[in-house]
Chain A
Amino acid sequence: MNTLKSISIKGMFVAFLVSVSSMLLADELNLRPGVTEISRSVYDLHNLILLICVVIGVVVYGVMFISMYFHRKSRGHEAAQFDDNHTLEIAWTVIPTLILVGMFIPSYGVLKEIYNTDNAEMTVEVRGYQWKWQYKYVDEDYNNSFSFFSNLATPRAQIKNRQVKTETYLLEVDEPLRIPANRKVKFLVTAEDVIHAWWVPDFGIKRDAVPGIINELWAIVPEPGTYRGQCTELCGKDHGFMPIVVEVLPEREFDLWYQDKVAEKIALDQSTKTQTDTEFLTVSSGG
């Protein structure tokens, strides 16, 4: 009976260790490393803290399970009557303090790096609306700034289960934010109505979009590709339906796209201007 029990306890312990280590290894269960330097250091930080927690957990739960197994009345264990032990109490105050200091220092290092928005090569204003994002490419002298909205592109029929859901269900937009690879892009995050939050997990950045306040974020993305995120602050009815899609283009490709956009914008400005003039003339001649 006892051997059976001890085998099952050992088995449980092994199963626990295996499951914990497989948790650490299995990518789909862990945080994703992302693609930027920042997101990788956040990922490393996350793994470090997780590991510390798992080790502490194994020790604490281990002692607890040993006690629950051996110190049972049904095994005839007599209760000891001690109720303090100063050495132990000092140890379990001081050791956690040291561990915490050890966790604080690298965390502060990464945090400082995240806060360094200097030397950005371009700036995009990100503005949250109920329930879409607006991206504005801020030109240095504001003459050629252009902007567009980015709306959910998933058809209603998919949401209402009348159509088969595609792989990018709820994570697709009509016009994504486009940024160049390998350049430091600064994001100015704000909102028009209520608070939203702009998050691209693969860049390791998230910031609230608060009306009346402009928050700064930055990213350098080495890998061209499409990256997806979602609004992460409850912002009303369609909070779950305002995704973020960022298309990172190779630098040359981005520059061409950007020039096109600016040209388009200038043409649009002129056409509206002409229109206004004509309207003005029509009105005055009519009067």
Chain B
Amino acid sequence: MSEVVHTDHHDEHDHGPEKGLLRWLYTTNHKDIGTLYLWFSFLMLFIGGALALVIRTELFQPGLQFIEPAFFNQMTTNHGLIMVFGAIMPAFVGLANWLIPMQVGAPDMALPRMNNLSFWILPFAFGMMISTFFMDGGGPNFGWTFYAPLSTTYGPPSTTYFIFAVHLMGASSIMGSINIIATILNMRAPGMTLMKMPLFVWTWLITAFLLIAVMPVLAGAVTMMLFDIHFGTSFFNAAGGGDPVMFQHIFWFFGHPEVYIMILPAFGIVSHILPAFARKPLFGYTSMVWAVASIAVLSFVVWAHHMFTVGMPLFGQAFFMGATMVIAIPTGVKVFNWIATMWRGSMTFETPMLFAVAFVILFTMGGFSGLMLAIVPADYQYHDTYFVVAHFHYVLVPGALFSIIAAVYFWFPKWTGKMYNESLGKLHFWLSFIGVNITFFPQHFSGLAGMPRRIPDYALQFADFNMISSVGAFIFGFSQLFFLYVLINGIRSGKAADGLSWEGAKGLEWTLPSPAPYHSFTQPPKVS
């Protein structure tokens, strides 16, 4: 399929990485920056996870035991913000950095200096956001959706820091996306037409366009907040002629594509792992590409399904219900394609495959509850209850996060040149799988029983579900510490890995030796 020419030119300078810590500050290398992104997102996963455990500790029993409601709201808000903008999104950008040049047969990303900048903005953005915890009045406490006027007129004084942190994150995302688009469109190896691109590359290309389309919308929303807070405007202030509902329309016009930004690259990852371990080509490549593209387009016309209870005309409700249900069709096509890929394969279940299969099963669960939430009259009963919490955690944790973990295990030998310990990896999988279900499955029931989300204390009939959920959260949280151990153990004492680390793996990256050379392809490979 492909043919690689390895040449070792040593007549150029600047071939290997610089020595010492400054390497990481100055680096323009896609692998170094990918590594930075991935470790950064891992750190954020632990910080966001710690906040989640504070929440689950308080909710272990009814009554206020450990923290006060005002602090609880800061926990839920920052848990959401850190996980969405700090853990999931940077992890996918890190994977894109590592994998896209190798998968399209390029030496590096198209815009290496901007790549450095887009990463190094992030620690400052999150440093600024997390520093608000130590300010007077505390950090953001209005939910990760920061609905006005709770976040404007009634927000804490630190909201301005939050606004600029969001601006920085947005700038970082936009630069990362431009880089990814430029790389994919300009640096593919000869012969790699668009419809021959690996699916991870396809899903990221589409995701990058989504990011460029919606990040400015988010920037607009927070800028209007800034003006409302400091400059006396009334965009979202009803008393001054503004409209709080307009905030929600703008936010979710960003927010819904954002949801797909966090899942489309996951679709790409799973479409690599399932064929590798089924030893069988991906079923329906073309329909996979079209499904991703149509999901992306549809994501712009369904935003108001997050606000069915806000008070809309009947036609509006019906339109957004219908449009949302339509998304089930391409999403269903993807799930069916994955199962058809597994069908009559010759499967083995190494850790990446276990996580990928769990992704298909549990993401589909999230899809089912998503379909239920699309039904407006039923949504009135589910909206802003734990049913919604269960729904989006099913698509984000065993969905997006599992796909990231699967990707780390799958490409670990390519990145490090070492193999992680398979038994430890499997143990990590089972702990995570059991933990995640114990945590989030009972939340469907507490939601149906009527427990609102974002409350620090609850009525007695919700007690059992919450206790189970809290136990699961601790299992899940600590099994990610175990993941850290598995990775460090693999890096330090793993067995040397082959270039083709998995029997059934296909794609240009597997034609490179493991670990992959610092500049992936110095000579473009030929793709036939």
Contacts and interface: CB of A to CB of B under 8 A. Distances in A.
A205 B364 contact: no
A120 interface: no
B385 A42 contact: no
Contacts of A32: 448-450
B332 A170 contact: no
Contacts of A240: 69, 452, 454-458
Interface in B224-275: 238-239, 242-245
Contact of B314 (A30, A115, A199, A238): A115
Interface string B302-332: 0000010111001001100110011011001
Interface string B274-291: 000011111111110000
B102 interface: no
Most buried by A among B149, B326, B346, B381: B381
26 contacts: A30-B448, A42-B377, A45-B377, A49-B371, A49-B375, A63-B343, A64-B357, A64-B360, A72-B348, A77-B346, A78-B346, A79-B279, A79-B345, A83-B283, A85-B283, A100-B329, A104-B321, A104-B322, A110-B377, A165-B460, A171-B459, A205-B380, A206-B309, A212-B238, A234-B150, A236-B154
A41 to B, nearest CB: 7
A234 B378 contact: no
Interface of A: 28-32, 38, 41-42, 45-46, 49-50, 53, 56-57, 60-61, 63-64, 67-68, 71-74, 77-85, 88-89, 92-93, 96-97, 100, 103-104, 107-108, 110-112, 114-115, 130, 158-161, 165, 167-171, 193-195, 197, 199, 201, 204-208, 210-213, 215-216, 229-241
B445 interface: yes
Given A73-B348, A111-B318, A160-B64, A89 B287 contact: yes
Contacts of A53: 368, 371-372
A80 B372 CA distance: 36
Interface string B328-361: 1100110110011011111111000000010011
Contacts of A216: 311
A197 B384 contact: yes
Given A92-B332, A169-B62, A210-B311, A111 B368 contact: no
Contact of B328 (A82, A100, A211): A100
A191 B378 CA distance: 24
Contact of A211 (B73, B244, B345, B385): B244
Contacts of A42: 377-378, 380-381
Interface string B375-399: 1111011011100000000000000
B329 A97 contact: yes
